[in-house]
Amino acid sequence: MISRVQTKLVKDTSCTNGVGKVSDVLEGVKVLDLSRILAGPYCAQMLADLGAQVTKVEAPWGDDTRGWGPPFLEDGTAAYHLSCNRGKEIIFHDLKKDKQAIQDLISKSDVVIENFRPGQLERLIGPIPNDVILCSITGFGQTGPRSQEPGYDLALQAMSGIMSITGEEGAGPVKVGVAWIDIITGLYAGNAILAALFKRERTGKNSHIDVSLWDCAIASLANQGQNQITSGQNPGLLGSGHPNLVPYQAFQTTDGWVVIAVGSDSQFEKLSQYLEFENVWSTNELRVNSRKEVVDMVQSKVIDMTKSQVCDLLEGIPTSPINKISEAIADAQSIARGVVTEWNGESVLASPLRFISEREK
């Protein structure tokens, strides 16, 4: 049996920071989190940040992510689990044996979040009452030929095309450095739940929300997806480069890497002046069509500089060092914004949401 020491909700500490706090926007809203791993728990954590009372049900042996380490907390729980479960009260039930207990929890909830395969939750515990908002998060959705297939972030990054555009040319595809699709699916689900709560406030009707990793992955292709639809051509691997802008990527310096993100012709003209080369690519179209030549020119000019020298020189042009996570967290802006806070005695990443003040009409 898992220890319950770390599960009690500490109401204020998960939301405070140096600027303001995520207020009690959802105070009084009761959320039952029956989901596992990341997408669903991340969604429920966001609702907890907004003031909802979130109760998470885990199996008696705990969520799988409790063992996804190292690193581990002092109580033996993996840091991964803490990253998407702060702000919740966690209880333990065997859904197969404790059907009535789960139904009782549902009857007291406004929102239920689950990520079982379509129809599986009902087969386990019986029908879900219509007087709650039900958010079902699955790999491929409630309908379609793949609806009964499980969904995993890495597999979805591969299948959706994300990995086909991530990585250096010649080196092969790579995944995004975090569970990208799980995270955005959690955010989409959170948005849908907020909309469903608003709808219920206006109409009194509850919604069953169908959110899938597949749909969210395809939606996240954004400009790359639209580029393919419009041109009929599949984009390839560009590393840190941009399919529609040049130069807009990472460049090596003597002590690390920087990114230079030129977003306009005027910025490129400034770049040519700062780095002292002739601007023979005065439009973005010319630069995209001469990508290698432009990138090689810029790289040759910064290769003997330090990161700070490049950033100082290119004032007015979006230029940043490529930081390690520790450097980003220690940045003065991070400290000012309170991006790290405390929950139950552990340092955790804070909610990025800030409710600064009430605006009077």
CATH architecture group of domain 248-322: 2-Layer Sandwich (3.30)
Tell me how far apart the alpha carbons of residues 182 and 152 are, in angstroms, rounded to a whole number. Answer: 8
pTM value?
A: 0.90
Q: What is the pLDDT of residues 265-284, one digit of tens each?
A: 999 999 999 999 999 999 99
Percent of the chain at pLDDT > 90 equals 91
In the predicted model, is pLDDT for residue 293 greater than 80? Answer: yes
| Per-residue pLDDT tens digits for 193-234 | 999 999 999 999 999 999 999 999 999 999 999 999 999 999
Catalogue the long-range contacts made by 168-177 (C-beta closer than 8 Å, 24 or more residues apart). Answer: 168/237, 168/239, 169/236, 169/237, 169/238, 169/239, 170/237, 171/237, 172/237, 173/237
- Indicate the fold that domain 5-222 takes in CATH: Rossmann fold (3.40.50)
Where along the chain do the CATH 3.40.50.10540 domains lie? 5-222
pLDDT tens-place string over residues 13-66:
334 433 334 779 999 999 999 999 999 999 999 999 999 999 999 999 999 999
- pLDDT surpassing 60 at residue 302: yes
Predicted confidence at residue 199, as pLDDT, reads: 98
Catalytic residue IDs: 182
Stretch 112-121: mean pLDDT: 98
Mean pLDDT of 139-149: 98
**Paired tokens of 293:** 């030549």
Predicted local distance difference test score (pLDDT) of residue 18: 34
